[in-house]
């Protein structure tokens, strides 16, 4: 087993990986940019190295600096987390060349599955159903021709994409040019690759993905599905296991699991990976892409199956065999995850970086919080605004939802805006609770639901609290300004009574 | 002590604090006198017991207002002491002038128009990026660009005026 592992990431996932490394008795090395000197992953790690200025292109995306840091600290392996270099085949190859183990699949597997268009070609070759689209990057003219042939709406996607970056829905020709320009520029900034391709948009589809796990000895299993249909800006915000659809049609888990294992095997895959499927209203599933890394939402699979995916990733990378067979995988209860972002859900989900002035974390039965924030931390402007992942587990889906609502009520983050209260609103929604999910759920939800009106008593308490707070501030400031003003205030108080 | 306040930009109302915390008595507008037991267990956190119910209110101080969060609900409260000078109301732009302001803290990555340009409704004017997310700010209606008060690469704060359109 490794003695020391470098974590080539930041934020909650770096903290998540460091936790398991510590449980395994493995030393951890954090890397950080200028913006992250006081971030939690640096504070938690055993060792840490500065790798450059705040923009990720000059730090977390710098392969040379990360390999140098690993060498200097004597790390035998690198865990890439998700995002940044996690699906970069050149990085996996550079690790190998430097004699450092990349905790993930081979560079070849990443090449055949990492790029969305290459993955489409692999899936087509493997006779897996794919959504109609271009199998190569497309120019603006080619996208226009595709849309003219298949009809709007279409979806522009970054060839190197992930996390919804560089993705745009286009409903009519007039929007195409501006959408193409913005998506391409966003892709360039996020992935250093401005190439786009286009797919026909399947309306009211569900996003259901399968977790696969394979070792380097030819063994591969699936760990069931995660339903990730609740998305904003094409980015998942609520995920569940089991999927309410699959709970209703259990045979789908086997069918999709088997298809996912076949696709992964076709790419010669090992370590943890995820095959994403789009499921239409007739329950047909289409291969969307493969994520050749650990997913953000992996904790729900961990809670339902009882496995630590990061531990398994490390063991597999160190040459170990899968410690269980497919028949030994059991799914128990129901887990749900909410991604807590620094953003304003009632203002188009605009990011809201800033300083946290207050933090109360939810605790109690069945609650897991994978986060990277602390009271007084400033959420940097340069990176994804994910603050934490709140996960609840319970025996049934309804109980897991109720537990999540309870945990969200305990969760208080001050100074910045978050989507915490928005999640409560969704989880209380009867359509959500009935399990009728699709990727357009949030847009539709906003169209049929007004922002929640607070109970009238809360307005009274707010007015009272604000008045007390304002007068306390005045009283506290007054003596410094003038020794007589307290008397004046008291006199005014008397007169105004 | 009598204070004027507005809640979430609504109509102005009055609150009269008849006796201070912890054994607080108060009156809202012309309503009846009410009692609340108020403690401050942590800085800026108010535990309020009122009519047998327990509330926890958290206060944030923002420029020009207080934000009170209770059970996930957010109240923006502007408290004014009527005896003190009122803050001057912000100058409203002349009719027909649209102001394009930054909706969030971030960085201007592209300026797509220059003063004097004619723009269509819905046309992109600037692109602001925060946390890798790019947002195109668009013209609400057609007109002529009067000013562009930022440049590519500039860091902006919420509410900062970036351009005006006539």
CA angle B87, B88, B91 (to 5 degrees): 140
Which tens digits make up the pLDDT trace of A307-357?
999 999 999 999 999 999 999 999 999 999 999 999 988 888 888 888 898
A-B Cβ pairs (cutoff 8 Å, strict): 169
Task: Say how far apart CA A15 and CA A22 lie, in whole Å.
Answer: 11
A393 and A259 both lie in a single domain: yes
pLDDT level of residue A475 (50, 70, 90 thresholds)? low
Pairing of strands B23-28, B12-19: antiparallel
Residue A121, in any domain of the structure? no
A233 and A340 both lie in a single domain: yes
Ordered by where they begin, the domains of chain B are: 2-80 (3.30.700.30), 98-165 (2.40.50.100)
Residue A195, SS3?
Answer: coil
Chain B neighbours among A 331-370 (CB < 8 Å)? 342, 344, 347-348, 350-354, 357-358
pLDDT level of residue A92 (50, 70, 90 thresholds)? very high
> How far, in Å, are A458, B22, B32 from residue B48 at the CA level?
11, 9, 18
Residue A53, SS3?
Answer: coil
What is the per-residue pLDDT for A476? 61
A397 and A465 both lie in a single domain: no
By C-alpha distance, the chain A residue nearest B14 is A463
Distance from CA of A467 to the nearest CA of B (A): 7
What is the per-residue pLDDT for A67? 98
Q: Can you give the residue range of the structural domain that contains A465?
A: 456-496
pLDDT, mean of residues A237-242: 98
Question: Are the C-beta atoms of B12 and B6 separated by less than 8 Å?
Answer: yes
Residue A401, pLDDT > 90, answer yes
ipTM of this predicted complex?
0.71
Which tens digits make up the pLDDT trace of A402-457?
999 999 999 999 989 999 999 999 999 999 999 999 999 999 999 998 877 889 89
What is the per-residue pLDDT for B84? 56
Residue A123, in any domain of the structure? no
Task: Say how far apart CA A283 and CA A244 lie, in whole Å.
Answer: 13
Phi, psi angles (nearest 5°) of residue A268 = 65, 40
What is the per-residue pLDDT for A228? 98
A373: domain CATH number is 3.30.470.20
What is the per-residue pLDDT for B68? 95
Residue A484, pLDDT > 50, answer no
Residue A327 is given by DSSP the state: G
A421 and A349 both lie in a single domain: yes
Would an 8 Å CB–CB cutoff place A409 in contact with chain B?
Answer: yes
Distance from CA of A233 to the nearest CA of B (A): 10
What is the per-residue pLDDT for B82? 65
Most confident of A74-78, A117-121, B143-147: A74-78
Tokens of A492: 């005014």
**Is there a contact between B68 and A462 if contact means CB atoms under 8 Å apart?**
yes
Residue A437, in any domain of the structure? yes
pLDDT, mean of residues A34-61: 96
Structural domain count of chain A: 4
- Give pLDDT < 50 ranges for chain B: 85-95
Which tens digits make up the pLDDT trace of A282-317?
899 999 889 999 999 999 999 999 999 999 999 999
Task: Say how far apart CA A31 and CA A65 lie, in whole Å.
Answer: 10
pTM of the model: 0.81
Interface test with A, best of B72, B106, B124, B154 (most A CBs within 10 A): B72
Tokens of A24: 């395994």
């Amino acid at each position: 087993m490794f003695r020391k592992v470098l974590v080539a990431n930041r934020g909650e996932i770096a903290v998540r990986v460091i936790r398991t490394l510590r449980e395994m008795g493995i030393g951890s090395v954090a890397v950080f940019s200028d913006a992250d000197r006081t971030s939690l992953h640096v504070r938690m790690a055993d060792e840490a190295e500065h790798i450059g200025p705040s923009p990720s292109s000059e730090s977390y995306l710098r392969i040379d600096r990360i390999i140098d840091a690993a060498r200097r600290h004597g790390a035998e392996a690198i865990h890439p987390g998700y995002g940044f270099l996690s699906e970069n085949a050149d990085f996996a190859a550079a690790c190998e060349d430097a004699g450092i183990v990349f905790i993930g699949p081979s560079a070849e597997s990443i090449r055949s599955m990492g790029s969305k268009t290459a993955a489409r070609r692999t899936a087509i070759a493997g006779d897996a159903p794919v959504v109609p689209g271009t199998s190569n990057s497309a120019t603006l003219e080619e996208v226009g021709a595709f849309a003219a042939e298949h009809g709007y709406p279409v979806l522009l996607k970054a060839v190197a994409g992930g996390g919804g970056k560089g993705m745009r829905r286009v409903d009519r020709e007039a929007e195409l040019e501006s959408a193409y320009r913005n998506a391409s520029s966003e892709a360039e900034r996020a992935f250093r690759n401005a190439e786009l391709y286009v797919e026909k948009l399947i309306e009211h589809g569900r996003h259901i993905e399968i977790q696969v796990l394979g070792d380097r000895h030819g063994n591969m299993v699936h760990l069931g599905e995660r339903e990730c249909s609740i998305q904003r800006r094409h980015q998942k915000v609520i995920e569940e296991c089991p999927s309410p659809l699959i709970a209703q049609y259990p045979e789908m888990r086997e069918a999709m699991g088997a298809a996912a294992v076949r696709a992964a095997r076709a790419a010669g895959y090992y370590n943890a990976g995820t095959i994403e499927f789009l499921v239409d209203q007739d329950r047909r599933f289409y291969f969307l892409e493969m994520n050749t890394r650990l997913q953000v939402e992996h904790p729900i699979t961990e809670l339902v199956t009882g496995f630590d995916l990061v531990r398994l990733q490390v063991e597999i990378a160190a040459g170990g065999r899968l410690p269980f067979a497919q028949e030994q995988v059991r799914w128990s209860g129901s887990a749900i995850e909410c991604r807590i972002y620094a953003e304003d859900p009632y203002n188009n989900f605009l990011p809201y970086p800033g300083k946290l002035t207050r933090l109360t974390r939810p605790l109690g039965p069945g609650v897991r919080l994978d986060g990277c924030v602390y009271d007084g931390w400033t959420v940097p402007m340069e990176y994804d605004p994910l603050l934490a992942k709140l996960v609840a587990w319970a025996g049934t889906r309804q109980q897991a939802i109720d537990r999540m609502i309870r945990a969200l009520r305990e969760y208080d983050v001050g100074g910045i805006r978050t989507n915490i209260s928005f999640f409560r609103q969704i989880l209380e929604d009867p359509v959500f609770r009935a399990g009728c999910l699709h990727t357009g759920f949030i847009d539709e939800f906003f169209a049929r639901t007004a922002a929640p009106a607070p109970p009238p008593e809360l307005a009274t308490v707010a007015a009272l609290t604000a008045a007390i707070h304002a007068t306390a501030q005045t009283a506290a400031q007054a003596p410094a300004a003038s020794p007589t003003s307290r008397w004046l205030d008291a006199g005014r108080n008397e007169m105004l009574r | 002590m009598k204070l004027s306040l507005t809640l979430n930009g609504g109509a102005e109302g009055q609150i009269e604090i008849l006796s201070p915390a912890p054994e607080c008595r108060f009156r809202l507008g012309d309503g009846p006198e009410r009692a609340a037991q108020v403690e401050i267990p942590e800085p800026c956190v108010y535990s309020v017991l009122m009519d047998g119910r327990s509330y926890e209110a958290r206060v944030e101080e923002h420029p020009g207002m207080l934000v009170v969060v209770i059970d996930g609900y957010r109240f923006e409260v502007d408290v004014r002491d009527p005896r003190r000078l009122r803050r001057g109301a912000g100058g409203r732009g002349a009719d027909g002038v649209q102001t394009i302001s930054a909706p969030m803290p971030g960085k201007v990555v592209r300026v797509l128009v220059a003063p004097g340009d004619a723009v269509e409704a819905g046309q992109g004017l600037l692109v602001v990026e925060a946390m890798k997310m790019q947002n195109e700010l668009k013209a609400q209606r057609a007109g002529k660009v009067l000013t562009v008060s930022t440049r590519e690469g500039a860091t902006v704060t919420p509410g900062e005026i970036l351009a005006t359109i006539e």
